[in-house]
Every structure is written in structure tokens, then in C-alpha cells.
Chains A and B, each alone.
Chain A
């Protein structure tokens, strides 16, 4: 690829990212609801159970903080990706897809746009970290890196699914049979230890998000089950696989 061509592809990637960022800025109600829901988990659910429960010498409300951050990445990313079903319905994507920019660049722009949205939401949630005494603020950069990699995989997954879905009805199915199980089976709300029933332990260990939650929990609370390099390796591999799968399905999308 010659230099001018590369430059134009980069401009295309930036264009798609820029569009997503504009949409993010305009749709403030979406930002508010994406912040309020995790805060309810933390302060209504977490404080309630935390009143009587500590895990690994950490108050329950603090214990689930990394899990809720990962949850907001999960929901934000997957639904961002699925949103292309709506874009396609409104033909917003059509004009973009006929431009002389490769599908891979458009996909990459979309992924980066989704990751930006999600990481900005996480940053807002991190502002509240001072309310959680067990959280180590020096671990925040590492936690952000892990959540960024996670959001690449999940936005890609959402776009992959969105490329295949024909209608918005699929939203409910994906929400019920994919997003919620991924959340509940990620150890976001409970520790993955030998006390868990074996079947549940097996499912949790199969879930790539478990390693994201564990890594973030290690970074912020210094409480983890798997070694850090395992967490990083699993989510990186997951991100690469999902990115490749997503880019293939997106390229084939009509």
C-alpha cells in the first residue's frame, strides 16, 4: 500500500471515529443512563449486601466495584456494536459503505469509536472511586488498559452480531442469552473459588470476561485468583479473535 493510500485510509478511520464521537456527545440521555445503572448496582445493591458481608477482607460494595466497571464496559460495548442494525435500517451506513475506504478501516473506526464511548463512561465511574476506600488509585491506569482491551473485544462482538442481524428483535435475544449470562458468569458479583458448585465454576472459567474482572480487581483491590499474565493473555487473545471475526462478518455484510 503506498503512502497516499494509507493516508486516505487513516483519514477514513478518523472520519468514522469522529462521527461516533459526535453522536456520543449529542445523545446525552444515553450517557446518563449508562452511568446511573452501574451506580445503582454499587450503591443500592452493593451497599445493601456490603452491610453484612466482606470478601477477602474487602467490603462487598468495594469488592464488586471492578466487576461493575467491567459490566458497564460489557453492556456499553455490545449495545454500541448492535446499534449498527439500527444504522442499517435508517440507511445511515449506506453512504459510508460506498465511500472509497476499505471495510476494514470502517470497522476499525467503529471499534475505536465504541471503545472511546465506553472508556469515557468508565472514566466517569472512576471519579467515584474515592467513595470506595479499598480502591488503590495507583492501579487505575492498569485497570483502564485492561478495560480498553476488553472493550475492543466486546465492541467487535457487538458489531459481528449486528452485521448478521436483520432486525432489532434480535436485541432482546442477545441481551437475555448472551449479555446477561456473560455478566453473571464473570465473577463480577462473587469470588471464583472452590466454594462454587463445580458446574458453575466450570462455566465461569470458560467466560473470558472472568479474566477481565479478575485483572481489574487485581489492579484496583489487589485481590485476584489468576496470575496477572493469565488475565492479560486471555483477554488479549479474546480481543484478537473477536476483532478478526467482527472484521470478517462486517466485510461480508450487505
Chain B
């Protein structure tokens, strides 16, 4: 039986529909990623599952407890790491965990041993008696992960766990998340708009846009649905029809003099393909990413700020355009 089940989960704020009927089953032990751009409804969905945000219609249950009817029991079964840091910066790392342990009714007999166990898991034992104000961003995140898992929740929710961290710290934070999920045997539901990172961590992802799940599956399956590798060619002549006729080519898009081609087994067929195109200026071959899946489904890039380093399809086209000018 799924540990999280939702049925047409819906949230409206006045006239705005933040979440429009989400049906989702998440299995025990999974690391599940809810991916989508800002404002897609990720945080609202998690908020409803954690009983922080009221549900407009539909239903959900976590570990057999109904989210609407038994919010107190649900709260005991979930751990949450919010998007914005929520540590008490006046308290030390250990005191933050002590506060949390008491709020979750962890008895005095096991409290200290459990706190020590979690501090060791996130490598913060040495610094545990320092005020958290003195912690770096990565350390604060790790302490929040430890806090989220302290009361042994059945499900750990992580809302944008790597937001605001530098790339190196982000990579380390994901490692901690994977390690902890495994050791604690916790189901993890996370949101992120870093698609590449989600690919590496999640067993399954749901792509969410405008409050709806538009794709669901393992990262591998979703990428396979793209129909092969991505080849971007910029050339003086663009014989689109000729290329479309090739058996191994799935799609061809022409955008401002650059051809975006999806094709099977690019490593086998690329030479043959290029021989058909005179005066090639530039070629890029890539295996598709989840970002490409998102763009294919929505016609938009997931990032608001496309100047950020990335290898996504649209960005590549945009860069070629700029170079052309």
C-alpha cells in the first residue's frame, strides 16, 4: 500500500487555483521529487500534506492517517524541512534538537541518545554546542535535516532543500539526504527546481505545472519519452524535410536558423546526418535531461533566470542566437 495517497487534491485562494486536483501514490521508501517552476504549486501541495495549509477539496492520507480528519496524527508521522531556514538562531544546535524532541514528545530516556545519533549522522557533533547563528548555510541545512528526522517520521518533506546554497554545498546536501533516507528508511518527498539534481537523487519524479501533474515516472523513463538524443545544428542551409524523412530522426524544429533534432542513437547516425547538411557551423549533441522533458511538455524553461549556467535546449538556442548577431 502506498504511504502517501492523494485524491484530486485541490487548493484555491479566492479565484486563484494553486493546486488543481492532484492524484498521487507514493510508495514506502521512495525518494520522490516534485519538480516544477516557482509558483507551480509544489509548496502548496506539500503544505496540504503536512496539514499546514487547509485543503479546499479532495483528500489525502499519510501512513494510513487521513490528513483532513486526523491532522494531529499526521503531524506526528511527518518531518518537514521548510524552504526558508527555521532554526532558532539564539539556541545552539543541540538545543534546537532538544526543543524539537520535546515538542514531538520524545521521552527523556531516549532523547539524548537520539540527538547524538542525528548529530553524528550530519557531522555536526563537534559544533553542537555553538549558537546556530554562527553556522554556515550548509551546516544550518544539515541541522534542519537532522531535526526533521529526529522523531523518526514515516515521511520526510523537503521543500527546496538546496535553495540558496552554493553548488558544492548543494551536492553535499544531496549526499546527506540520500544517506539519511537510507539509514532511517524514511520515505522522502522533496520539491526542487534544480532538475539535474533531482535526476540524480529521486527514484521517481512528478513534474508539476500550473497546479497539475503533467508527467510522472522515473527520471530515466521520462527522458526516454523524449524520443532519443538531442542534436543541435547550426548551418547555412537547413534541409529540414530531408532530415525529417530519415528513419532514426524523431522530430526536427527550426528556430532562428538552428535545427533542434531528436534522434535515436546519435553516436551511430551523426556522421550520416551531417553528410546531408552543407556548411555546418556548429553541432551540439546531448543526452536529454529532465529540463528538456519539462520544456517539451510546457514549451517553457523551468528557470526564471536563463542566464544561469545550464545545458538546456532553449538556452542553447538562445546562446547560438546571440552569437549569430
Residues of A within 8 A of B (CB): 7-8, 11-12, 14-16, 18-19, 22-23, 26-27, 90-92, 94-101
Contact = CB atoms under 8 A, between A and B. Distances in A.
Interface in B68-89: 72-73, 75-76, 80, 82, 84-89
11 contacts: A15-B99, A15-B103, A19-B88, A22-B95, A23-B91, A26-B90, A94-B84, A95-B80, A95-B147, A99-B100, A100-B105
A7 B91 CA distance: 25
Contacts of B75: 98-100
Contacts of B99: 15, 18-19, 96
B147 A14 contact: no
A100 B76 contact: yes
Contact of B50 (A15, A18, A27, A98): A98
A99 B82 CA distance: 13
Contacts of A90: 89
A62 B181 CA distance: 65
Contacts, number: 66
A109 to B, nearest CB: 10
Nearest to A92: B88
Interface size class of B (residues with CB under 8 A): 20 to 34
A177 to B, nearest CB: 30
Contacts of A100: 72-73, 75-76, 103-105
Interface of B: 50-52, 72-73, 75-76, 80, 82, 84-91, 95, 98-100, 102-105, 131, 147
Contacts of B147: 95
- Best-surrounded residue of B82, B88, B103 (most CB of chain A within 10 A): B103
B103 A92 contact: no
B152 to A, nearest CB: 13
Given A15-B99, A26-B90, A99-B100, A91 B105 contact: no
B52 A11 contact: no
A73 to B, nearest CB: 23
A27 B52 contact: no
A101 B75 CA distance: 9
Given A14-B102, A15-B103, A27 B86 contact: no
Given A98-B75, A99-B75, A100-B72, A15 B86 contact: no
Contacts of A15: 99, 102-103
B148 to A, nearest CB: 9
A92 B100 contact: no
A11 B76 CA distance: 14
A99 B103 contact: yes
